[in-house]
A and B are shown apart, each in its own frame.
Chain A
Amino acid sequence: MSMDIDITLTVNGERVTERVEARKTLVDFVRDDLGLTGSHVGCEHGVCGACTMRVDGVIVRGCLMLAAQCDGATVETIEGLSDSGEVADLQAAFEQRNALQCGYCTPGMLTAAQELLQQAQARNAVPSRDEIREHISGNYCRCTGYHAIVDAVESVAKARAGAKS
């Protein structure tokens, strides 16, 4: 049985083929093998959310998945979300509102918040502050105290809803 696995996947729109150690987590793979250091490692046991990224369209903990599991998958990290412009408004809101200090939690926070914003848009709703807090409940930020983050996400939710109607 092999300790090394060949995988082919799409990362931020690029096709990637690599041989990885079976034990390598997805977040270590994108950081170490692909140099995508925007995904961060804060706990490696699933609690802090710093490694949050998107696999096949939904947010996951990069530290609780193996790279080997991602053969055939579509992986999107903060670098991809940035370059596509998908979260440009959310990034701008974080910058304007100073919703980040050290920025270590930020890629995961943005990725998690974007999922909520998409869900809200699909429902044609603006999430409440409580709903925003709930959706980022698994993303730890030691610096901000969360208030500014909630403000930033809320303002984007309103702006997107306004732009749509």
Chain B
Amino acid sequence: MKITADSPPVLSVLDRPNSYIGRAVPRPNLQRLTQGRGQYISDVTLPRMAHVAYLRSPHAHARIVSIATEAAKKAPGVVAVVTGTELAKVMTPWVGVLTHLKGIKSAPQYPIAVDRACWQGEAVCAVVARTRAQAEDACELIDIVYEELPAVTNPETALDPATPVIHASLGDNLCFERKLDVGEVDKAFANSDAVVEATFVTGRHTGVCTEPRAVVADWNEGEQRMTVYHATQAPHMMQNLFAKHLDLSESQVRVLTKDVGGSFGIKVHTYADEMATVALSKLLKRPVKFVADRIESFVTDIHARDHRIKGKIGVTRDGVITAFEIDDLTGIGPYSVYPRTSGIEANQVVNLTGGPYNCPNYRAQARVVFQNKNVMCQYRAVGHPIAVAVTEGLVELAAAKIGMDPLEIRRRNLFPDDGYPAQTASGLKLEQLSHHEALAHLDTMINYAALRAEQKALRDKGIYRGIGFASFIEVTNPSAAFYGVGGAKITSQDGATVKLDAQGAITIHSGVTEQGQGAEAVLAQCVASSFGVSMDRVRVVTGDTDNTPYGGGTWASRAAGIGGEAAWQAGKALRGNVLAVAGAMLQAKPEELDIRNGVVVDKTTGAERLGLDELARVAYFRPDTLPPGFQAELMVTRHYVPRGWPFAFTNGIQASYLEVDTDTGFVKLLRHWCVEDCGTIINPQLVNEQIRGGVVQGIGAALFEQCLYDERGQMLNGNMADYLVPMAVEMPDIDCGHVVSPTADSELGAKGAGEAGTAGAPACIMNAINDALRPLGAQPLTDMPFTPGKILRALGKV
């Protein structure tokens, strides 16, 4: 089923009289934000609230010999100066491992460093004061004596015997290792007509959410309860962790999220300074606020994607891919991040490499090593941009080698659309994908033949343009297979509670969270549709562990597919309950009634029978008039967890058209396209904007972003002037198209769409640059980001 950009899908079973499924309805909660009346955690203030600033290690690796806090304690406004040793008495340390990542190991991490700092930026002492400025003033008065230790910064040598071991108790610097050998790889390479090898480097990135991390913790000694206002994606997970490490029960902890200024996976982890803030509130028995400033964000927000991957592909003369092989090495910082671990990214690279292609021979090795740099963990599209860069980079290099068109080689190897269910060489189970239809759609959308003709004509004039592609698959709607089976208290199910209020309006309480992706709109659309009211009658409550069903929050593109299905089902169930009341009131059979546009109607004729306001009035205020023994149930909860498939894979293909200035090495992006299949599209506008935003994050990876470190473990560009995020002028317009293959695991059939853009864009840009430069005999570029310097070097100009 093909849809052109921005148009709603064809009618399906989901289309009920007031269906919002497939419609680009605006998000209901936007006016608050456009008027500056949102409430982000950085806006929260509470009575008696104090502010904390952390003094951070200037060294990548150092023993803390002594900390003198006397002068700081006497500084104006200071409430307390607390060291790691002191805070360790309030909060227990944690270890970021999961049992299903066999052999993964890490060392205990404390909220504030105890005895030793393991990366530049790790908090070594806290100052709580009346204002943030006063806390920072006092930080300058703390005198710490460090004994610098050798810093491990090069992953390539991290495992050498001569390299110091960061955590002696672990024996070596290996965090996690995975090997896979499927089919007959050596034989396949031997039988190939061409074998291409390349080493890919994906730069260390970080999320740079516009709102830095923020938390306000409020321990009420009288209630013995901790309320944490936390810009997090996963409130229930954090509730569990705060309780666990403060030795409280979960019922003593409430986590509220409010508006969140961007997250992208950055705000789904345990941060030592946030844990410390919560512990400080307990210690000081008053609210404590921590908002990371941008400079500390760069050295503490998780980094990601720092991988070096040696890749190899074999092809026959007629373009059949015979085998893939990769060797991935990644340095993750001194700790595996809790609780999701820092092994997942490499694990995903192994899982996803070669993913779109029907190729049975695959060998992979991944090693994850410790180093004295900021920690790495899951960030939007975890592992995907890396795996896609390696796979698609190799595929286009192979195509070039055998002189085949890059779309043609894909046509010959992508899993056939009618061949599902299928399984990738790495063992991923694919329910139903649409690679070929997506490719055909893209081919038309970009007018490929004409684009090639234009490219050729311009080359003759010395203008070098490139066209690059990237096919991809994306993990969405994760089941318990992702984290739950590994022992983490990260739920994969989610719930929605739907209630009819006394005026006949609907409130939804959901366990997923809003980070700007439009989850609340999707939930409202689902319930409005399945229940039968207009969206203005629906209000959504999320992000409050006291008031929402237990849920996983927002990550791995799960909010719409999982949270949306729970909401859809809850709306349906409430409709049943409401119709039972209506039946009782009207002395009609409930199954002969329906709810349309907020009115109970006769199902067949559509004749209006009863307003919901009247029904609610009777049910709540005159239940005595209902038949004896009849009890109206006007609030229902439904949960949903994917069971049929471990993940709902989506697929798609992107294209980039760009121009390289071969004198300067500068790249100008002309246009970008993405065709994506995320199953049922609940709101095409939201899907497209997820894709556009994601593509631009991927472009950042390809062209601009990289956390640069020197060999002593000092980050060199930890500010927004030097760490280059994509800005408006350099970004292209982005066209979106869709194919729809719903998942049968849920009634809605929706899969996720949050990460597809980011997954494919870096590979796509890389391939386009190489396509542009190929006629000039340039060395293929595989080391991201593709700076002017690297391009000039590839051209032999410097």
Asked if B725 contacts A145 (CB within 8 A), the reply is no
The answer for the CA separation of A139 and B729 in the assembled complex, in Å, is 10
Pick the contact of B42: A21, A41, A142, A150 (CB < 8 A).
A41
Is B695's beta carbon under 8 Å from chain A?
yes
Confirm or deny: A67 has a beta carbon within 8 angstroms of a beta carbon on chain B: no
Q: B689 at the A/B interface (Cβ < 8 Å)?
A: yes
B762 at the interface (CB under 8 A from A): no
A100 engages B33 (CB within 8 Å): yes
A148 close to chain B: CB less than 8 A? yes
Chain B residues within 8 Å of A95, by CB: 26-27, 30-31, 34
Q: At the interface with chain A, which of B431-439, B512-520, B643-651?
A: B512-520
By a beta-carbon cutoff of 8 Å, the part of chain A in contact with chain B is 21, 23-24, 31, 36-45, 47-48, 50, 77-79, 82, 91, 94-96, 98, 100-107, 110, 129-130, 132-134, 136-150
A37-B43, A50-B210, A141-B210 are known contacts. Are A106 and B515 too (CB-CB below 8 A)?
no
**Interface pair A38/B693, CB less than 8 Å apart:** no
Q: What are 5 sample pairs from A and B whose C-beta atoms fall under 8 A apart? A: A23-B133, A24-B133, A98-B27, A101-B518, A133-B731
Candidates B34, B259, B516; contact of A91 at CB < 8 Å: B34
CB <8 Å contact, A103 and B30: yes
User: Which chain B residues lie closer than 8 Å to A21 at the CB level?
Assistant: 133
Contacts of B209 in A (CB 8 A): 102, 104, 142
B700's nearest neighbour on chain A, judged by CB, is A142
What residues of chain B lie closer than 8 Å to A141, measured between beta carbons?
A: 210, 728
The contact of B721 among A36, A47, A50, by CB within 8 Å, is A47
Q: Are A101 and B516 in contact (CB under 8 A)?
A: yes
Contact A103 to B259, CB < 8 A, known contacts A38-B35, A137-B729, A143-B516: yes
Chain A residue nearest to B689 in the complex (CB)? A98
Other contacts beyond A36-B36, A140-B208, A143-B693: 5, CB < 8 A: A31-B43, A38-B38, A79-B36, A102-B211, A104-B40
Does B686 sit within 8 A of A, measured CB to CB? yes
**Taking beta carbons and an 8 Å cutoff, which residues of B are in contact with A?**
26-27, 30-40, 42-43, 133, 207-212, 259-264, 291, 293-294, 515-518, 685-686, 689, 692-697, 719-721, 725-729, 731, 733-734, 757
A47 touches B30 (CB 8 A): no
Are B729 and A40 within 8 A (Cβ)? no
Q: A39 CA to B43 CA in the complex, in Å?
A: 10
B720 near A104 (CB under 8 angstroms)? no
Report yes or no: B39 in contact with A102, Cβ–Cβ below 8 A.
no
Which residues of the partner chain A approach B212 to less than 8 Å between Cβ atoms? Answer: 42
Given contacts A98-B685, A100-B34, contact A45 B719 (CB under 8 A): yes
A98 touches B518 (CB 8 A): yes
Q: A103-B259, A103-B516 are in contact. Are A40 and B728 (CB under 8 A)?
A: no
Q: Which residues of A contact B725 (CB under 8 A)?
A: 140, 142
Contact A98 B693 (CB under 8 A): no
In the bound assembly, the distance between CA atoms of A132 and B731 in angstroms comes to 12
CB B518 to nearest CB in A, in angstroms, measures 7
A145 contact set on B, CB distance < 8 A: 689, 692-697, 726, 731, 734, 757
When distances are taken between beta carbons in the complex, the residues of chain B under 8 Å from A106 are 33-34, 36
A137 in contact with B38 (CB, 8 Å): no
CB distance from B695 to the nearest CB of A (A): 6
**Chain A proximity of B618: nearest CB distance (Å):** 37
**Is B35's CB under 8 angstroms from A78's CB?**
yes
CB-nearest residue of chain A to B727: A137
Smallest Cβ distance from B446 to chain A, in angstroms?
17
